[in-house]
Amino acid sequence: MRRLALLITVCAVSFTASANSVDRLVTVVTSADPQTQLMAMVLTMQAIRAGASADILLCGPGGDLALASPPSSATAPQPPRDASPQGLLQAAMEAGADVNVCAIYLPGRGEDSSVLLEGIAVAAPDRMAATMMDPTVRVWSF
């Protein structure tokens, strides 16, 4: 009887763990700080390498990472490995991350999507909100 109870407990814990697993990530970057931007990309890349799918949402100063002609802080090498925030953003895209700027980013700059790097789009607020509200999605904000 005791073994049966233990087996039921182990099965219940295993089921709960798998039901609560998170395999999708939304990384929101709003910071203007290049080290913060880079760390957001480092952690997102680690999550992708661990098997997660990733959406990256760039807003405010974080949106500058998406620009084809970004500020120098987006492309300047950062210690300790001389990686840049935009360089690692592009690596995340190559690894399958879906990258969008906030819907109000470009209108706030008086520009259109022609200023963005290829492969980066403008987020649809309804789709992004639904994704972020999904209980199987983890949201990181930097």
pTM: 0.85
The token pair that represents 140 in the structure block: 């990181």
Phi, psi dihedral angles at 78 (to 5 degrees): -115, 145
pLDDT tens digits for range 41-99: 999 999 999 999 999 999 999 999 999 999 999 999 999 999 999 999 999 999 999 99
Give the strands of the sheet with 53-58, arranged side by side: 121-122, 98-101, 53-58, 24-29, 137-141
Average pLDDT in the 5-25 region? 53
Domain residue extents for the chain:
22-141
The token pair that represents 4 in the structure block: 């049966």
Average pLDDT in the 25-35 region? 98
pLDDT tens digits for range 101-138: 999 999 999 999 999 999 999 999 999 999 999 999 99
- State how far the Cα of 22 lies from the Cα of 49, in Å rounded to an integer: 14
- State how far the Cα of 84 lies from the Cα of 78, in Å rounded to an integer: 6
- State how far the Cα of 1 lies from the Cα of 74, in Å rounded to an integer: 62
CATH class of 22-141: alpha beta
The token pair that represents 79 in the structure block: 């210690």
